[in-house]
Amino acid sequence: MRQAERAIFDLRRGLPILVRDNGSTTLLQAVEGLDDEALAALQALSGTPPGLVLSSHRMAALGVAGVDAPATVSLSPLPDSLRLRELACVRDARLPAGARHAPADKAGQAAVRLLSHALLVPAAVTSTVSAAQADAVAAEVASGNLLVVDAGAALELGAGGPGALTRISEARVPLAEAENSRFVLFREADGVHEHVAVVIGTPADWPEDVPVRLHSSCLTGDLFGSLRCDCGEQLRRGVAAINAQGGGVLLYLSQEGRGIGLANKLRAYGLQDEGLDTIDADQTIGFSKDERNFRVAHEMLQQLGVSRILLLTNNPGKVEALQRAGINVTARQAIYGDVTQQNQRYLTTKANRHGHWLHELLNEQGEPSSQVPESLPAPETAARS
């Protein structure tokens, strides 16, 4: 696993890495940041023409139907790096006539996983190392210039498990909305992601169903009060609501842009300004409608000894994820920001396409209604007594 985590840094720096799967070795490099020189160097080192690996979401955005896993596109002649970047993330791009695609092999699948985890556009150039180049590649590995990653280990990135999250440090941080608060910082094994549990009030005095909010980071909304979303208000109101109910936990999760990272969120905002909604914008650059999983949240709650909760959310996915992980979510409480002219479309998309319980809020603003459960049905794993 350690090599896969290290590979994140090389990929983010625009360097190639070598992926091994059984006997085969594949060179791969991110399309993001790739220039023609690097593309030529990759081809020279591998001895074979690179293919382009794209996520299923990007294939759909390119108009290729029926692809439900990463695909490798064979392009002949190989386009230049600018054209490859267009194929990776530009709106309305199309594959060249005659381009063939096939399900990506394990190395290609690992490429998409690594790049998503690295918060890069999930598109890679990959080249199988030819027999003639095996010695040259081995020399690069031996000299420390080329990192070798096992495809299986790369696919396991972010899968959680023992040692995946370490409690690092903590301190009292009085907040405007909850004076008696402690920040407890957790670090993921990749060394990149850090998450904070804001422990509000005194655990011994908490209600039996501990009020909990999972809040994914949003630099634009949380810190700057962006009007494009509702995050900043949800964050502050979440802290206040937990405090008012006798204390609990707000997990501030390093999952900017629903897990795609700030760079990609800003790209997606650009596409939204061209008319796409939040889901189509993310899919255009190769991502699913929500790249988060809430394993870290589960792990943090476990380490804090919290297992029975009242969850503050409008997102059914969070309820399901925690329940699946074994957290007893006994009830859900809505948590709203304000509807503004600038975020109304975003909230409407969340209600209609993400399935968020937001129709009640939007209804008050004259938005179309639909059937939404008032509260969480009793989960199978959750006893209410």
- Under the rule (CB under 6 A), what is the footprint of ligand GTP? 214-218, 229, 231, 234, 255-258, 260, 265, 268, 278, 282, 313-315, 318, 346, 350, 356
CA distance 267 to 368: 29
Across the strands, what pairs with 26? 19, 128
Structure tokens given for 64: 């290729």
* Shortest distance, position 32 Cβ to ligand GTP, whole Å: 16
d(CA 241, CA 234): 10
Least Å from the CB of residue 185 to ligand GTP: 18
**Does residue 54 touch Zn ion according to CB under 5 A?**
no
Task: Please report which helix (H) or strand (E) contains residue 265, including its range.
Answer: helix 262-273
Our CB check for ligand GTP shows the closer of 18 and 351 to be 351
Site for Zn ion contains 335 (CB under 5 A): no
Least distance to ligand GTP, CB of residue 324, Å:
16
Q: Counting contacts by CB under 5 A, is residue 339 touching Zn ion?
A: no
Q: Is the sign of the CA dihedral 204, 206, 212, 217 positive or negative?
A: negative
- Binding to Zn ion by residue 218, rule CB under 5 A? yes
Residue 213 labelled as part of a binding site: yes
As measured in angstroms, the least distance from the Cβ of 229 to Zn ion is 3
Is 234 annotated in some ligand binding site?
yes
Minimum distance between the CB of residue 359 and Zn ion, rounded to whole angstroms?
20
Give the binding range for Zn ion (CB under 5 A) out of 103-111, 137-145, 210-218, 363-371: 210-218
Looking at the Cβ atoms of 313 and 348, the one nearer to ligand GTP is 313
| Catalytic residue list contains 290 | yes
Nearest CB to Zn ion, comparing residues 58 and 292: 292
CA gyration radius, the chain: 23
Report the alpha-carbon distance of residue 96 to residue 75 in Å, rounded.
8
User: Does 89 show up as a binding residue in the annotation?
Assistant: no
Residue 31 to residue 124: CA distance in whole angstroms: 5
Which of 31, 44, 13, 23 minimizes the C-alpha distance to 111? 31
Q: Which is nearer to ligand GTP, 113 or 265 (CB)?
A: 265
Q: Which of 219, 300, 311, 212 is nearest to 257 (CA)?
A: 219
318 annotated ligand binder: yes
Q: Which of 290, 295, 308, 338 is catalytic?
A: 290
Distance CA 257, CA 222 (A): 12
Q: For residue 37, how many other CB atoms are within 10 A of its CB?
A: 9
218 annotated as belonging to a binding site for a ligand: yes
CB contact set of 354 (below 8 Å; sequence gap of 6+): 279, 289, 290, 315, 317
What residues act catalytically? 290, 292
Residues that bind Zn ion (CB under 5 A): 218, 221, 229, 231
Binding residues: 213-218, 229, 231, 234, 256-258, 278, 313, 318
Binding residues for Zn(2+): 218, 229, 231
